[in-house]
Amino acid sequence: AAEAAALAPGEREAILSRARQLVAGGAAEAALAPGEREAILSWARGLLGATPSASDAGKVTESSSVKAEVDQLLRRARSAVNNGALEEAEGLYQQILLQDEANLRALLALSQLFMRQRRWIEAIDGLVRLNILQPKATEPKQLLARALLQDGQFEAAARLYVDLSVLEPTDLNVWRALGQVSRRLGNWSASRAAWARAVELDSETVEPRLELAWACHQMGDAEAAKTELQHVLKHAPDHREGLMLLGRILFADDPEGSLTCWSRLGELDLAAVEPRLQAARIYLRLNRLEQAEACFYAVLERRSDHVEAVTSLAGIVSQRDPEAAVRLLVRWSDKDPANAAPWVAIGRLYARLKLQEPAEVAFRRALDLAPGDLSALTGLGRIYSTNGKADDALAIWSRLAGLTPEVVEPKLQIARIRQARRDPEAEQALRAVLSIDPQNRESLRHLAQLLGRTRATVNLALDTWERLADLDPGAVFPIAQRGRLLERVGRLDEAEIEYRRTLARDGRSSMALGDLARFYRVQRRWDEAAEIYRTHLAMDPDRLDVIIGLGQCLDRRDQLKEAEDLYTRALTLDPDNVTALGYRGRLFRARGQVERAIADFHRICELEPSNAGAWHELIFQLAGAERESEALSMLTKAEQALGDTPQAWMALAHAAAAALFEPRAITYFERAIAAEPENATYQARLGLHYLRQGVLDGALKHLLDSRDLDPKNVDVAKGLFDTTRALRELGLDHIAMRRESQTVGQILVPERLYEHLRRVVETITPYEPVPRRVVAISATLAPGGAERQMVNMMRGLSDPIYRLDLALFCISLAPRLRRNFFLPVLEGTGVDVVSIDSASIEDCLWHPDVAPFAELIRHFPSDMVTPIAFWLQEFRQRRPQVVHAWQDSTNLTAVVAALLAGVPRIVLCCRSVRPDNPRRRLRRYMKTAYEAVLAHPSVVLSNNSRAGANDYAEWLGMSPDRIEVVYNGVDFDRLRANVEETNTARLDLGIPSGAPVLGGVFRMSEEKRPLLWIDVAAAVARRDRTVHFVICGDGPMRDEMVNYAAALGIGDRVHLPGAQANIGSWYKLMDVVMLTSRHEGLPNVLLEAQSLGIPVVAPDVGGMSEVVEQGVTGWTVRGADAESLADRVLHCLSDRAWLRTARERAPVFVRERFSIPAMLHRNLEVYRIPADLAISHDR
């Protein structure tokens, strides 16, 4: 009392309030010093007028004068409570407390009265006082905890139950209450501990174990939860809460076990929805659609408006009957016509089925019912985005962005649309997404792509990709994108580092390996690229792009066989792989396997009729193989396949131009221009084409038209410069030509250049040559008849007895294209083989010996400029006595350099047939060029047959006598026949011993007339059934020959063993050799056969009659048909005496006229170089 009196006003209440907070748990205790809590409570007890004694557990002593009155008031109050007079009882208790505010009985009874009336705040106040006065008593604490729970003060209640658990550690009710309040608070650790103690105190009761299982489940300890639930269900197998909780726990890892629980719950409660819904979800997850469908139907039987059941059921049904699924959702709508949800579900169903139009209708129907429905707006926005309705989509997504400012998708969709439109606001839209979700990966990806479009923001793009890489430390894609961006902007060293980073992150990543291999391949670092591809292939042996990529690398390293094997391996895995077919076709072309190349590109055109590049290759290769009619047929098919569009006509124009079908090329160019006359590109392409063809008036017209449409085109400006310079060189006024209307094709280069050349060389004085120095010129040393003859000639002339200084100039000796095929033949001969260094062309043009003619040279076709300049410089420095060129195109290039250099003797060896025949691709200027240069006294034309010479003479309008004839020299000694091989071949083919054999060695293509050969065979077989027929060779008509022979009834006697290496042994298998070619120059086959004593039969065309001693070693037949040729064959086979004579005479005849020494001697005569030694033709 003395202490209370000494307190300042309000101080007493402050102390009591602080004590109440400590008891009720409303004040933080952590900040109190040790002992401070108990000191506060002790002071409060003192202020309330009582000091508890340790011996009586807190009971206070009442004065005797007051006790009697208090007891009486307590009795009256209890009586009032019993009689229901609660207000009276409350008044009496208050009266007691006015006299003695620490009266424990009155405080307890009044608090209980308040709790009975649910006056929780007042009850709590009284119970707090009791707890202050009786800190060790449990009843006030339990009552206070219950009151706090009822008042929603769960944390305070939990702290009181913790205190009670210390005071009463075996009180089951305390642990149960603590577990429950901890569960209410979400404190699963405390709840689990409380229920675990409750289970220890009462292991037989279900509730503690069930609650413990729930707490374990919430903490993620599924195993502990299952253990407790097994105890529950062991004692109560049909305990519904236990079954339900176990079903939920097993759902993720044991769907079958979960299904068992929900099925049992369904049996226990036939009207319940939840068990059937959960079972349906499990069946759906297990893809057991029939059971899922049945369960969803069961849900709808119990609750017809269940949204998940309706929508899920519709999704299942839609897979077999979309319309039935829609009807299901429409029925839902009919039951609830004002609800937009059914129409949203219908829209989603149609959208999932990719039925965009009905989906749009459904979403719009939903929006009619609920204009602000977010799901309907989202669905409609997605439909518009998918359908390319960018404006409508933008409107929807903008509306959604306003309705849901914190949702990412609308802003992301807006950003996508703006980025696709290259809208400057795209970046702002993406940053809006990132302001909501800074780690949104799609937005970061789009932002990086956007920033990477311009050089100014490349570094920002790189930083953004790095942010993405940081979000996923194992991801390869962002680092790969950094590498690709750096590569695109030319920062190659940094790009390589990034590609290496991708491999460091994931050494088995296909993307990482593929990007690095591609990078090395693009940089032409073939070895490094191949190494990466091999690593990749070891991990994924059947990956097509890797197989093809490695093939490309080996192809470029000239490992052609290995590259071919890889392309073929790819085609084994995917026979229709166009990429592999294309690369293999180009490789075949490079290796000279033209037929196989043509077959591959033909296959591509079948697979992809719209592939303009494949048509181009096919047409070009057919034309190059001198199969002009087939090339023209394919050009027509390409026209049908590619369609009537300007783009198609341009592609056809380039294909026709490559195949030298000039009129068709011009027609296609003009069609494209007529369709789009304002297209500057089409005008430019035709102008540049005319410039390449040397049609200067056409080039000027179309290049000027293109410049008028697009003044900034650099290629056009350069083309115009070259055109006007060429016109000036020819003395023509391009300005006047522009003003005057002219017919295209009047001003032709190089025709006019050759005429101009003739005037220029008249002013050139020939140099003093180095005696006996000869330079031969060939385009390549590829496998071909002309190249073989030229190499044989050079090898023979290199013999020291001729005392010649020899050099051989080639345009290309590229190993990859087999242009060095015959080079080994010249090893050790001393012949100086020189190929053109194209990198030095400008140096050549500026060389003092070339510079005076540089302007003239530049105006020749581009493929002629480098050889002319290079050879002119070489000729001036070497000063050869003779330049000997081979084949028309090379002739007309070499002769320009030789004339400008002043070479005294220039021999141009032409082909066996003039170049304007249907099987040769004529360059337009050739006739004019030959006429111009042959007027010069130093130039002489040669041919390998008199028939060929006559053909050229007729074409050029000159006397045949002016053309020198030099027969091919055949190395007969290489044709060594092996009797054992011949006998083995006969046995393998099944030809009876002694049976006569008619043979042929030729390419099975149209110009050889192989079907006529079969007709002759059939005519022979009709008159002599013992004859067999053997044809060595291969070609595009092989299958046709086989089928034709079968149709004529001789298929069993016609044998096609293919091309043979040791052809001598096969010749010896034949009794007669026959050719049926439409035209031939000087056929080596007839010469080779006769050298081995085998008579020959052939049509009298071309140079055939020159290689046969008519009636002695064989026959050439004029106007040959099957019967006339068969007559001669049968004569050879039946007249034994004649056959013996022919076999004796034939080798002598061909060696006299067609040996290598004879050919060398004749060449020296043409060169006008004395042989100096008598050369025996038998040498």
Q: Is residue 68 part of a domain?
A: yes
702/570 same-domain check: no
Q: Indicate whether 893 pLDDT > 70.
A: yes
The pLDDT value recorded for residue 18 is: 62
Q: What is the pLDDT of residues 322-373, one digit of tens each?
A: 888 888 888 888 888 999 988 998 999 889 888 899 999 999 999 999 999 9
743/758 same-domain check: no
Among 212, 182, 207, smallest CA distance to 196 is for 212
Q: Indicate whether 923 pLDDT > 90.
A: no
984/1122 same-domain check: yes
703/796 same-domain check: no
Q: What is the pLDDT of residues 178-229, one digit of tens each?
A: 999 999 999 999 999 999 999 999 988 889 999 999 999 999 999 999 999 9
For the record, the structure tokens of 826 come out as: 């010249």
Is 923 within 8 Å of 754 (Cβ atoms)?
no
Of the ranges 265-279, 771-785, 811-825, which one carries the lowest mean pLDDT score? 811-825
938/989 same-domain check: no
Please compute, for residue 652, the number of CA atoms within 13 A of its CA located in the half-sphere on the CB side.
29
1043/954 same-domain check: no
Q: Is residue 655 part of a domain?
A: no
Among 667, 701, 671, smallest CA distance to 684 is for 701
The pLDDT value recorded for residue 47 is: 55
CA distances (Å), origin 850, targets 555, 865, 884: 37, 12, 21
For the record, the structure tokens of 124 come out as: 């709590």
In this structure, the number of other CB atoms found within 10 A of the CB of residue 272 comes to: 17
Region for residue 118 given its phi and psi (left: phi exceeds 0; alpha: psi -120 to 50; beta: otherwise): left
In this structure, the number of other CB atoms found within 10 A of the CB of residue 203 comes to: 10
Is 1120 within 8 Å of 1108 (Cβ atoms)?
no
1030 strand-pairing partners: 999, 1055
Q: What is the pLDDT of residues 1080-1094, one digit of tens each?
A: 888 889 999 999 999
For the record, the structure tokens of 664 come out as: 């068709």
Q: Name the more confident of 37 and 369.
A: 369
Is 1028 within 8 Å of 1057 (Cβ atoms)?
no
712/771 same-domain check: no
Rg of the chain on CA atoms, in Å: 52
Q: What does the mean pLDDT of the chain come to?
A: 88
Q: What is the pLDDT of residues 897-913, one digit of tens each?
A: 999 999 999 999 998 88
CA distances (Å), origin 579, targets 122, 594, 600, 742, 1068: 89, 18, 11, 46, 45
Is 674 within 8 Å of 684 (Cβ atoms)?
no
Q: Is residue 386 part of a domain?
A: no
What φ, ψ does residue 144 adopt, rounded to 5°? -65, -40
Q: Is residue 658 part of a domain?
A: no
What φ, ψ does residue 995 adopt, rounded to 5°? -70, 130
If you average pLDDT over residues 850-876, what whole number do you get? 91
Q: Is residue 555 part of a domain?
A: yes
Longest distance between any two alpha carbons in the chain, whole Å:
173
741/755 same-domain check: no
Work out the pLDDT band at 36, boundaries 50, 70, 90.
low
CATH, residue 695: 1.25.40
Of the ranges 914-918, 1029-1033, 1123-1127, 1153-1157, which one carries the lowest mean pLDDT score? 914-918
868/960 same-domain check: yes
Among 715, 747, 779, the domain boundary falls at: 747
Domain span at residue 116? 1-52+63-168
The pLDDT value recorded for residue 288 is: 92
683/742 same-domain check: yes
- Give the rounded distance of the alpha carbon of 533 from its chain centre: 15
In this structure, the number of other CB atoms found within 10 A of the CB of residue 837 comes to: 11
Q: Indicate whether 138 pLDDT > 90.
A: no
Ranges of beta strands (E only) in 1090-1167 are 1096-1099, 1114-1117
CA distances (Å), origin 7, targets 3, 11, 432, 449: 7, 6, 63, 76
CATH, residue 552: 1.25.40.10
In the chain, the number of structural domains is 6
The pLDDT value recorded for residue 30 is: 47
DSSP readout, 315-341?
HHHHTT-HHHHHHHHHHHHHHSTT-SH
What φ, ψ does residue 944 adopt, rounded to 5°? -90, 5
Q: Is residue 581 part of a domain?
A: no
Work out the pLDDT band at 694, boundaries 50, 70, 90.
confident
What φ, ψ does residue 413 adopt, rounded to 5°? -65, -40
1095/982 same-domain check: yes
Work out the pLDDT band at 26, boundaries 50, 70, 90.
very low
Length of the chain in terms of residues written: 1179
DSSP readout, 1029-1061?
EEEE---TTHHHHHHHHHHTT-TTTEE-----S
Q: Is residue 25 part of a domain?
A: yes
Q: Indicate whether 121 pLDDT > 50.
A: yes
Work out the pLDDT band at 919, boundaries 50, 70, 90.
very low
Per-residue HEC secondary structure of 866-895 comes to HHHHHHHHHHHHHCCCEEEEECHHHHHHHH
CATH, residue 911: 3.40.50.11930
Q: Which helix (H) or strand (E) holds 618?
A: helix 612-624
